[in-house]
Amino acid sequence: MELKPFKVGPINRLQIARFGCAVRDFNPIHFDDEFARSAGLPSVIAHGPLTASLVLDGIVAQVGLDRLRGFEARFTAPVLPGDELEVVPTEGGVEARNGQGQVVLVAKVHLRS
C-alpha cells in the first residue's frame, strides 16, 4: 500500500461532544465522566465512527477521494480525550495506535489502481 504514516489528533472533548450532537448519539459514555467510569472506562470515550472518520480523512488526503473504493474498520480499544493517534499502513489497510502504542482501530482500505 502506498500510504504513509500520519497522525490524527489529539482528540478533544469538544470534538466528541460535537460529533455526538451531529449524529444524535447521546450515550453517556461519550459525555459523562462519572457514567463512563461506572461502566469501567477511564473517562468518556470518542465515538467509533468519529475515530474512523478522522482516520479516513487522513487516507483521503493522501490518495484522493476518487481512488477510494471501500473502507472497513474494526475497533479494538477505546479512544480517550487527549489521545493522538498514529496511523500506520499494514498489509491491505491501516492500524491506528494511541500514544501508548495500543492498536485502537484496524481497517481494510480498498483503493482503485
> For residue 96, is pLDDT > 90?
yes
The grid coordinates of residue 20 equal 455526538
> For residue 1, is pLDDT > 70?
no
Whether 12 maps to a domain, the answer reads yes
| Rounded distance between C-alpha atoms, residue 50 and residue 59, angstroms | 14
Whether 27 maps to a domain, the answer reads yes
pLDDT value of residue 2: 83
* End-to-end CA, the chain: 11
Q: CB of 66 within 8 A of CB of 78? A: no
Residue 97 DSSP one-character state: E
The domain tally of the chain equals 1
Q: Which domain holds residue 100?
A: 6-111
Whether 1 maps to a domain, the answer reads no
**What is the residue whose three cell numbers read 479494538?**
76
**Per-residue pLDDT tens over the stretch 24-83:** 999 999 999 999 999 999 999 999 999 999 999 999 999 999 999 999 999 999 999 999
CATH code for the domain in which residue 92 is found: 3.10.129.10
Q: What angle do CA 28, 107, 10 make, to 5 degrees?
A: 50
Q: Within 10 A of 80 (CB to CB), how many other CB atoms are there?
A: 20
